Structure 1
Amino acid sequence: MILNKILLLPMSLMLSMAGCASFGPNATYNMGTTSFNYSLDYTSYMVKLNGHEIGAGFGGGMSTEPVKIGPQVITWEESASDKIHKAKNQVIITKAQLKGKKYLAVHLYPDDTVEITTSNNWPDPTEKGMKWMHELKKAK
């Protein structure tokens, strides 16, 4: 009887660890999420990552949402119209990008492409996005 318990203990520990870890193609991480919109033409809202609304306000709004590994569907709306945008590029999130990270930011560029960044500190705008905004302001 004791021998059975000794043999079952390592197996039960392995199974319980597997239940807590993120494995497989549907691994999900709960993270602080936000977004940055670099377009000067509209304010974005209802930014969604795989159907889950994430924070906005140029990184000022944060929410905790489930983030899955793999291909992402990213959409957002314009605040002053009914226009819905969908990312033109395919974004794929890897386990390496999420492992040990606390925050995920979706960066919405004026050409409807997006970029994902992860960090352990509050997310910052990207250099690419800030340069783009600066160029758009100069052109006006």
Structure 2
Amino acid sequence: MKDSNVPFSGTSRRQFLGAIAVLPVAISCEARSMKAVLNVILYNYLNRPIFDVFIDGKVGRGSDAYPSTGGGMVTGVSFDLGPKKVTWRLDGPEGTPRNGETVVNKNPLRLENIVQGAKYLGVHIYPDDTVELIASVSILGRTPRGIAMAQEYGRG
């Protein structure tokens, strides 16, 4: 016979107390964020140099104007997978409009679905202030889109 004043019987009470005992452990276990460690190569398709290129606050490099781009690499950069923000500052000869201005990618960016064995991240910055992030197993070089844009702007 159940006592109406007792919310749990003996077995139910043990199950309830067992569940309460593991609750702090379950709460402290968070989903680990997925990461990728990649070597970053910047490709600048602008007609001017850029500097202080950051991907979520990481890297901090610069790149010469197209076609003298893609020559440097930052190795072993750890990135969380997911949405990305790329910023860069415009450079050029003294008096060039917008010198020193910080630009942010206009297009939504995500770093995810990285191919197995990827070692490189190509960061392709285009004159329309959009960016492509391309992870690859080997160095891919300039993109067809970038080459076409450079030709369109009279630099190809």
Bin of the TM-score, shorter chain as denominator length:
0.7 to 0.9
Q: Write the distance in 1 (CA, Å) between the matches of 2:39 and 2:127.
A: 24
2:83 partner amino acid: P
Q: Write the distance in 1 (CA, Å) between the matches of 2:142 and 2:81.
A: 23
Closer/same/farther in 2, CA of residues 25 and 38 from structure 1, 3 Å limit: farther
Return structure 1 stretches of 4+ with deviation > 6 angstroms: none
Count of residue pairs the alignment pairs up: 113
The residue aligned with 1:47 is 53
Unaligned runs of 5+ in 1: 1-23
Q: Write the distance in 2 (CA, Å) between the matches of 1:87 and 1:25.
A: 27
Aligned alpha-carbon RMSD (Å): 1.8
Q: Structure 1 length as normaliser, TM-score? A: 0.73
Task: Give identity over the alignment, percent.
Answer: 28
**Higher gyration radius (CA):** 2
2:70 partner amino acid: G
Closer/same/farther in 2, CA of residues 34 and 25 from structure 1, 3 Å limit: farther
Closer/same/farther in 2, CA of residues 63 and 28 from structure 1, 3 Å limit: same
The residue aligned with 1:66 is 78
Unaligned runs of 5+ in 2: 1-30, 64-68, 93-98
Asked whether the equivalents of residues 85 and 112 of structure 1 are also in contact (C-alpha less than 8 Å), the reply is: yes
The residue aligned with 2:148 is 131
* Alignment counterpart, residue 42 of structure 2, candidates 18, 35, 46: 35
1:62 partner amino acid: M
Query: Is 1:26 aligned to 2:43, yes or no?
Result: no
